């Protein structure tokens, strides 16, 4: 990726979460009374998208408009604190705020104020230069005037015509994406609003709306985001790409659209295709929701599954008195013997965590020609098995450091270790865990599969 910053253009909002407890109804009306415990402010709108892109390790410049009121000053501080360069066009009026009243992690009410009659200042030379120099651009349009400003729109039109990758997150109150934009990203409700002539529901209707919007706007790709259903990407030719989302049972969807847009824009800035960007963005948005959405985000990069999902899984199992089982290995060319061993390990407890040797670890253990399957693909195959609850990769030669963090109750290894001491056994004993060996399944071996394939190719 170029060291030039991704430029995010759009309307910044100050979001406030008022957290409290509801234990009674008001005596003068049948409404809940929220006893305030704490209030937290965070960047919202285009500012949230910019902060999320910066957390992904991308240099970011945000072109937006802020007022000089207390809310605007606070918002500017939040933007700079997130590591984002700020270009402020100025806002004649009040900074827009969104205030959510929440209890037990759930929203009770949202209050919007400010920004209704505000006027955006003219595009500065710094803003035009940033747009002209950007390797990629994310337009995060909340319909409050930044994207509609004449100088900004002219600079965007010039870059779109030149083929600069532009990802555009539209809003019903905002401007339509410009012709030549690489990727427009309305959500399902917005797509229905933008394409009212396309009737119906479900995937066929979404695909029809995406194609209609691509033609109407003159953009190269349209991706309709569908919340827990994932996303659908119209490619302009052939069938669309349907990207399912990982299941999320709990979580807060606030900010999921910004998480999707920011991740897609970062990937495009790094030279990824629209297909690659959308697949990655769906996964990132799902993780963001599962981890509590914008209200739980602390300005850091969203925690990887090893640090968040797995810890939460272990805590939940132990809270109900369950047994945490772990196993490990390379699992290069997953075969029936692997599956039977994993099924046996899962039967020993209430969840199974697979400690997976990373690619560098496999090369040191198996030789320079291994692994045949890279770690992300091996992890995806393992995670798809019904007996596996989580997969965590490690790059050391042994999983001892990872085991010391996870502290499973049982460490299970395949039967080819039978009769030999397990090197992890002493480690497990430190916290009262136990190492066990599972039955060996003869006739199944990755090495044998590789040799058989080589023999057949040579014959």
Cβ atoms of 156 and 166 within 8 Å: the answer is yes
> Which is catalytic among the residues 15, 252, 258, 332?
258
Q: What is the three-class DSSP state of 379?
A: helix
Nearest-5° Cα angle at 269, 264 to 272: 70
Cβ atoms of 221 and 240 within 8 Å: the answer is no
- Give, rounded to a whole angstrom, the gap between the first and last alpha carbons of the chain: 45
CA–CA distance, 337 with 329 (Å, rounded to integer): 13
Structure tokens at 110: 């949202």
SS (H, E, C) 196-230: CCCCCCHHHHHHHHHHHHHHHHCCCEEEEECHHHC
Q: What is the CA radius of gyration of the chain?
A: 26
Whether 258 sits among the annotated catalytic residues: the reply is yes
CA–CA distance, 9 with 127 (Å, rounded to integer): 9
Report the Cα 163 to chain-centroid distance in Å. 26
Length of the chain in terms of residues written: 459
| Of the candidates 345, 357, 457, 458, the residue with the CA atom closest to the CA atom of residue 408 | 345
Cβ atoms of 213 and 184 within 8 Å: the answer is yes
Residues paired with residue 307 on neighbouring β-strands, in sequence order = none
Active-site annotation, residues:
258
């Amino acid at each position: 990726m170029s060291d030039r910053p991704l430029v995010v253009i759009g309307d910044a909002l100050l979001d406030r979460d008022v957290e409290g407890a509801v234990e009674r109804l008001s005596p003068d009306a049948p409404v809940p009374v929220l006893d305030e415990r704490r209030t937290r402010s965070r960047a919202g709108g285009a500012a949230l998208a910019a902060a999320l892109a910066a957390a992904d390790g991308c240099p970011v410049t945000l072109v937006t408009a802020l007022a000089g009121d207390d809310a605007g000053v606070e918002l500017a501080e939040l933007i700079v604190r997130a590591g984002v360069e700020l270009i402020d066009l100025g806002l004649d009026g009040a900074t827009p705020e969104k205030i959510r009243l929440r209890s037990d992690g759930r929203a009770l009410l949202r209050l919007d104020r400010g920004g209704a009659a505000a006027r955006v200042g003219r595009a500065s030379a710094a803003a035009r230069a940033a747009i002209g120099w950007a390797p990629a651009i994310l337009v995060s349009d909340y319909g409050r005037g930044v994207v509609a400003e004449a100088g900004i729109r002219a600079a965007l039109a010039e870059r779109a015509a030149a083929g600069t990758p532009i990802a555009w997150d539209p809003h019903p109150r905002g401007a339509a994406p410009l012709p030549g934009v690489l990727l427009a990203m309305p959500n399902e409700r917005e797509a229905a609003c933008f394409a009212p002539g396309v009737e119906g529901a479900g995937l066929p209707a979404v695909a029809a709306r995406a194609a209609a919007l691509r033609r109407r706007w003159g953009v190269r790709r349209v991706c309709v985001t569908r919340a827990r259903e994932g996303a659908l990407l119209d490619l302009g030719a052939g069938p669309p790409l349907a990207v399912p989302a990982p299941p999320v049972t709990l979580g807060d969807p606030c900010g999921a659209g910004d998480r999707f847009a920011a991740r897609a824009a970062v990937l495009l800035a790094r030279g990824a295709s629209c297909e690659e960007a959308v697949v990655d963005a769906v996964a990132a948005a799902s993780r963001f929701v599962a981890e509590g959405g914008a209200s739980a985000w602390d300005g850091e990069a969203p925690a990887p599954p090893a640090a968040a999902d797995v810890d939460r899984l272990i805590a939940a199992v132990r809270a109900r008195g369950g047994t945490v089982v772990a196993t490990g290995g390379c699992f290069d060319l997953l075969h029936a013997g692997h599956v039977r061993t994993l099924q046996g390990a899962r039967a020993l407890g209430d969840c199974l965590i697979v400690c997976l040797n990373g690619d560098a670890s496999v090369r040191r253990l198996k030789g320079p020609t291994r692994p045949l399957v890279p770690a992300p693909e091996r992890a995806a195959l393992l995670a798809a098995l019904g007996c596996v609850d989580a997969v965590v990769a490690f790059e050391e030669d042994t999983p001892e450091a990872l085991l010391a963090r996870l502290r499973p109750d049982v460490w299970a290894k395949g039967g080819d270790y039978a009769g030999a001491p397990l090197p992890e056994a002493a480690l497990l004993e430190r916290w009262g865990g136990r190492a066990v060996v599972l039955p060996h399944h003869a006739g199944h071996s990755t090495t044998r599969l590789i040799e058989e394939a080589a023999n057949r190719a040579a014959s």
